[in-house]
């Protein structure tokens, strides 16, 4: 299992980084594909959603990515909002009263996907590499420190394998790796970037726990089995999907990317 996970990561990570560096339309197509599969996995986990409903939700997520790819951010967010409301209203009309987790599939999947497209177009590949480095090294650091050090669990009711040592180790390694990436592209690793890297690292941990909570709620071990050693697409990209909106907000607040902040 561990070696399968490592081999898969070694193969897929460089490909992902290459598509980030190449930019549009290659990276946009990748994000659209990830969003489609992730939406399908999310709506399949509860075991009740039909194929037609899953297809419509996945289509809405891809439509938002397409709109953002053409630089029409307003349309992208309108698609997310309208699709979310439509799913909720459809449930009420069909007699499925109350709010259900699956009704939030569109914003859960589409909002971070749109954010990733925005970050790359607004802030360049350096900012995307920084985001990916923090997220990936937080995951790797948490996994390694948890296995080596062990100790008390951070949230046993949600994710029985995650430890405090792994979480703290992941935060330290992820933040340090983010600073190292910035230095490698000519950006001084200032105190401000330490704080920003730590925020993204914290969000990565939160995203991992949120996805674990969703799987607990739906009583499944993995969101899918598409990626050997990692499970489904949701399992692999949960941390990135949590950190991406924050990175997009930073690009808006500071009006640019890491090279100009």
Q: Where are the alpha helices (DSSP H) in the chain?
A: 2-22, 26-45, 51-69, 73-93, 105-149, 164-184, 191-218, 233-253
Percentage of the chain surpassing pLDDT 90?
Answer: 74
Number of domains within the chain: 1
DSSP state of 231: B
- pLDDT band of 161, cuts 50, 70, 90: confident
Residue 258 inside a domain? The answer is no
User: For residue 62, is pLDDT > 90?
Assistant: yes
pTM: 0.94
**Of 70 and 48, more confident:** 70
Closest CA to 193 of 204, 208, 181: 181
Q: Would the CA dihedral through 112, 117, 120, 121 be positive or negative?
A: negative
Give the chain's radius of gyration (CA, Å).
Answer: 18
Q: Residues with Cβ < 8 Å from 199, sequence gap 6 or more?
A: 246
Angle in degrees, CA 115, 90, 232, rounded to 5: 45
User: For residue 2, is pLDDT > 70?
Assistant: no
- Token couple for 8: 């898969």
- pLDDT band of 51, cuts 50, 70, 90: confident
Check: CB of residue 79 under 8 Å from CB of residue 63: yes
Mean pLDDT taken over the chain: 93
Residue 242 is part of which domain span? 2-253
Residue 182 inside a domain? The answer is yes
Residue 261 inside a domain? The answer is no
Closest CA to 224 of 237, 216, 234: 234
User: For residue 1, is pLDDT > 70?
Assistant: no
Per-residue model confidence as pLDDT tens digits over 73-131: 999 999 999 999 999 998 888 777 766 888 899 999 999 999 999 999 999 999 999 99
Residue 260 inside a domain? The answer is no
Per-residue model confidence as pLDDT tens digits over 210-231: 999 999 988 888 888 887 767 8
- Mean predicted confidence (pLDDT) in 169-194: 97
Residue 118 inside a domain? The answer is yes
Residue 46 inside a domain? The answer is yes
Residue 221 CB coordination number (10 Å): 8
**Of 99 and 8, more confident:** 8
């Amino acid at each position: 299992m561990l070696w399968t996970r490592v081999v898969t990561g070694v193969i897929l990570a460089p490909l992902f980084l290459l598509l980030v560096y190449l930019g549009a339309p290659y990276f946009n197509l990748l994000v659209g594909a990830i969003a489609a599969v992730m939406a399908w996995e999310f709506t399949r986990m509860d075991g009740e959603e039909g194929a037609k409903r899953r297809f419509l939700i996945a289509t809405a997520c891809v439509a938002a990515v397409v709109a953002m790819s053409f630089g029409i951010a307003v349309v992208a967010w309108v698609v997310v909002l309208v699709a979310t409301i439509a799913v909720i209203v459809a449930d009420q009309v069909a007699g499925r009263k109350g709010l259900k987790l699956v009704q939030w599939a569109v914003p859960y999947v589409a909002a971070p996907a749109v954010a990733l497209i925005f970050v790359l177009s607004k802030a360049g590949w350096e900012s995307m590499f920084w985001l990916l480095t923090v997220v990936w090294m937080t995951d790797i650091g948490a996994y390694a420190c948890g296995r080596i050090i062990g100790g008390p669990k951070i949230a046993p009711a949600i994710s029985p394998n995650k430890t405090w040592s792994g979480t703290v180790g992941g935060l330290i390694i992820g933040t340090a790796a983010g600073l190292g990436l910035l230095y490698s592209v000519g950006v001084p690793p200032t105190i401000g970037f330490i704080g920003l890297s730590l925020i993204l690292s914290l969000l990565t941990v939160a995203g991992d726990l949120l996805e674990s909570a969703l799987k607990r709620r739906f009583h499944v071990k993995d969101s899918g089995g598409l990626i050997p050693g990692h499970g489904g697409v949701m399992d692999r990209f949960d941390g990135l999907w949590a950190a991406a909106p924050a990175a997009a907000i930073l690009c808006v607040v500071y009006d640019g990317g890491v090279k100009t902040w």
